[in-house]
Chain A
Amino acid sequence: MFNRVTLSLWVTVFLNTYPLIAADPTVKDPKPPIPIHGFMEESQKLFDEASKSDEACSALYQQLKKGTVKPDLVAKLSMNVSRLKRFANRLVDLGEPAGVEFMMRHDFHELERAEAFNALMGMPKVQPILEKAALALRKGVAKRTKKAEEALNLATTDAIAAQHLLDPAYDEYESIAGALPTGRRDPFMELPTAFGRIDGPASIQRRRLVDQAIDTSTASFLQELEAYLASCKNGTTLLQDGTIAREEKSFTGPEFADEIMRNGFIMQARMQKINAIQHFHSRNINTGGRNNISTDCEAQLTNLRENMLKATIQLFEKDAQNAPVNQLVGKIGTYAIVLGKYVHRVDDDQWIKAIDDAFVKAAARDKDTERLVRNYQECTSNVLKWKERFANKQETLLIGKYNSLAQVVGAATQRTDTQPGYVWSVSPSTKPYPLFYNPTHVALPLLGEKLGSDAPAIVREVVRLDLESPVWISRWDNYVYGRFPNDFYKNDQASKLKLDLMISDTKPPLSVRASSAVYTAERGDGLTVGGLVGDVTAEGALMRIVTTKDTGAPFTGITRPVAFQTDRAVDQVSLRANVSPKWYRHRYFAVAQ
């Protein structure tokens, strides 16, 4: 991590290579800081204050570069630098990757401050300035001493409140003291000393509050999960005359199956979220506790999936048993449509096989129905098998020499010693992943330069989380994902599939294999997209997963918990690339520009 030795080494590098602010005073701070996940309420305020200070640092530095070096501006810069550091550290305590990024920005501003301060000290008539500042500080001794005492008292019960109490007083102090060299400051250290004694306990207090909130959230989620699993089991018993009554609503069997699936995937998404949140629990920081989180989570995810499948199949079986024979086909068709919205999310066709077999079994009551369902499944699965084979070949040709987005971005973020300005990947003794090593507004332009414009890349498991969204995203893959419009889906492939699968408004699919093929084709969701990489944006990896939407199960995947590579997950970056697509592969067809 960034330490004093590296810092001093970098002063020269920075002053020679830091391009943006030093070189061009008209360039505004080019990128806003990365967002917070806001798990703890205090994060928002800290973020706002840190952002303000970050901007103020930049503005003050530019001002100083343009005009003469004024002592009050130098002091004000110093004040904002110190504010930024305080709030950055507190954000890190709250599990916010934004805190780490602000620390990086602080480190750069600290270099600016040092430069400005040295310029001030180098001014010919600096002594009277220093006298003036020292005098002003002397005047405030009593007031500051009183404030320090008040804060230290308060800290015995509430160190966080003590910090809040000290903050404004400290800012006032630093906006004078910032113009003084260390020697001249020494008599006036009441507030820094107080902070020195309060920050430690406040950090512990914050982490404890965070831990409590995490434990509460987890407990609350586990209750929800229990309730969900119970409702899965109840479905079969509650089914009377083809309907289920719940909470003053009435569901048909297929509607309830839809609920089981929809809610089940919401639980999957929330489980990924809770798993991510565990990573900033203090017991997991620096202890490698993440291994336990991941194993539990994986078992939970599997258990959840198994329950979802079992519950829907049992519900279907009962519903089909009770249906009159002449309604059996219609019933199978309705379940096929409903369940076809979900089955493709599970690897290896496990759900598809289980459900389609259940359809055949249920049809066995009636010779004609059984013949229809078997024949339908046989010819449609054969045609799909061959279409998939063809699409596999097409995809191989389309991929050509493209690499995955994760590889392309990963290669561009590799740190070399001659170019320190990158978001940095760790050397491959562990699996490489992007780390904060510089603030994003320094690293990203350099990343962009190295990537070039229009680097080709492929992304996988592409999906629109919500139908209203104009963009598709790809599955999160080693901290990287793509975002793109998918105009290719406006093609005739979905209607062609329907013809091939003998599906129409009056003739439903009789397998989920068929129905999910059409469903995904109509939505434009697919397996692979190849395109050209445009802008890259950085976010905190933790933040990306902690803010998973309820519809987000396809984004994180559901087979395995999202794994964070080391203990300090706050340090890890997620990169999002805009991709301009050139071709799109659905499981059963491919479309290219």
Chain B
Amino acid sequence: MGNVSDRSPNNRSNWAVCMLMHGVFAFVLGCSNEQLNKLVEDVKSSTDVVKKEVQKVVPVGSISLSLGSQIDTSTASCRLMVMGDGRENVLQIRSSTSNSESYPSVLFLGSTSATSFNALQGEKISGQLFVQTNGENGVWQNDPQGKCVVRILSIQETELIGDIEPTSMVNAEGKSLVTSGSFRAVNENP
């Protein structure tokens, strides 16, 4: 799922792409054969670099939900919060770690007895789900009479992959919808 997007903090891959584009321009503008050969060599080696960088690009995660219409967040991260004083630990999955909001925005908080990230594998975790579809309106939470259940299907390196089971959601107008979906969430403290 990893895309080379401008959100990637990886400067080297950006540089590599830049080099590639310069190479293309130089080619289009026309140069001598010798110059061209050297350029092609340079571009080839930087392409290799690019290929390697592409393989190492950091995942950004996403959450997909159907809530009336389809909602897809462009990032998602998670954190297992160990309490350690007898309180249950908390798995938090959220669409954004930034303080400034971007939409759609999703938050899941659920209780678990798992004490490590890897121990989440195969767990069913129940808790609360909050969704805001856009900046103006569309604030939803799971029906207070019920819960939201997520299933952790697998863990791939730093990503938690799972499903959100059908959950009854309500909004401030009292409208009710069932949501379900899936997520890939990147561990915030690997």
B-contacting residues, A382-411, CB 8 Å: 382-383, 386-387, 389-390, 392-394, 396-397
Taking the complex as formed, is B39 at the interface, i.e. its CB lies under 8 A from any CB of chain A? no
CB-CB < 8 A to A502: which residues of B? 83, 87-88
Taking the complex as formed, is B90 at the interface, i.e. its CB lies under 8 A from any CB of chain A? yes
**Cα distance A389–B85 when bound, in Å?**
30
| Max chain A Cβ within 10 angstroms of own Cβ: one of B90, B139, B172 | B172
On whether the beta carbons of B109 and A393 are closer than 8 Å, the reply is no
A381 CB to nearest chain B CB (Å): 11
**Residue of B with least CB distance to A382:** B107
CB-CB < 8 A to B139: which residues of A? 386, 389-390, 392-393
On whether the beta carbons of B82 and A379 are closer than 8 Å, the reply is no
Given A382-B94, A390-B141, A496-B144, check contact A507 B87 (CB 8 Å). Answer: yes
B97 CB to nearest chain A CB (Å): 11
- In the complex, per-residue mask of B14-25: 1 if CB is within 8 Å of any chain A CB, else 0: 000000000000
**Cα distance A507–B87 when bound, in Å?**
8
Q: How many A-B residue pairs have CB under 8 A?
A: 57
Interface size class of B (residues with CB under 8 A): 20 to 34
**Cα distance A513–B144 when bound, in Å?**
21
**Partner-B contacts on A (CB < 8 A):** 329, 368, 371-372, 375-376, 378-379, 382-383, 386-387, 389-390, 392-394, 396-397, 496, 500, 502, 506-507
CB-CB < 8 A to A329: which residues of B? 85
On whether the beta carbons of A379 and B173 are closer than 8 Å, the reply is no
**Partner-A contacts on B (CB < 8 A):** 79, 81-88, 90, 92, 94, 107, 109, 128, 130, 132, 137, 139, 141, 144, 171-173
**Residue of B with least CB distance to A386:** B130
Kindly identify which residue among B79, B81, B141, B172 contacts A397, using a CB–CB cutoff of 8 Å: B172
Given A389-B139, A500-B128, check contact A368 B84 (CB 8 Å). Answer: yes
On whether the beta carbons of A507 and B86 are closer than 8 Å, the reply is yes
On whether the beta carbons of B107 and A375 are closer than 8 Å, the reply is no
A375 CB to nearest chain B CB (Å): 4
Given A393-B172, A500-B128, check contact A383 B83 (CB 8 Å). Answer: no
**Cα distance A340–B83 when bound, in Å?**
21
On whether the beta carbons of B83 and A375 are closer than 8 Å, the reply is yes
B71 CB to nearest chain A CB (Å): 16
**Residue of A with least CB distance to B89:** A375
A571 CB to nearest chain B CB (Å): 44
Kindly identify which residue among A375, A390, A500, A506 contacts B172, using a CB–CB cutoff of 8 Å: A390
Extra A-B contacts (19), CB below 8 Å, given A372-B84, A393-B171: A368-B84, A375-B83, A376-B87, A379-B81, A379-B90, A379-B109, A382-B107, A383-B109, A383-B128, A386-B107, A386-B130, A386-B139, A389-B130, A393-B172, A394-B172, A496-B144, A500-B128, A506-B86, A507-B87
Chain A to chain B contacts (Cβ below 8 Å), 24 pairs: A329-B85, A371-B84, A372-B83, A375-B83, A376-B83, A376-B87, A378-B79, A378-B81, A379-B109, A382-B107, A383-B107, A383-B128, A386-B107, A387-B141, A390-B172, A392-B139, A393-B137, A393-B172, A500-B128, A502-B83, A502-B87, A502-B88, A507-B85, A507-B87
**Cα distance A168–B84 when bound, in Å?**
82
B28 CB to nearest chain A CB (Å): 51
On whether the beta carbons of A378 and B107 are closer than 8 Å, the reply is no
**Residue of B with least CB distance to A378:** B81
On whether the beta carbons of A378 and B87 are closer than 8 Å, the reply is no
B113 CB to nearest chain A CB (Å): 14
A379 CB to nearest chain B CB (Å): 5
On whether the beta carbons of A382 and B128 are closer than 8 Å, the reply is no
**Cα distance A100–B17 when bound, in Å?**
83
Given A372-B83, A375-B83, check contact A389 B92 (CB 8 Å). Answer: no
CB-CB < 8 A to B171: which residues of A? 393
**Cα distance A507–B86 when bound, in Å?**
8
B181 CB to nearest chain A CB (Å): 18
**Cα distance A386–B172 when bound, in Å?**
12
On whether the beta carbons of A397 and B173 are closer than 8 Å, the reply is yes
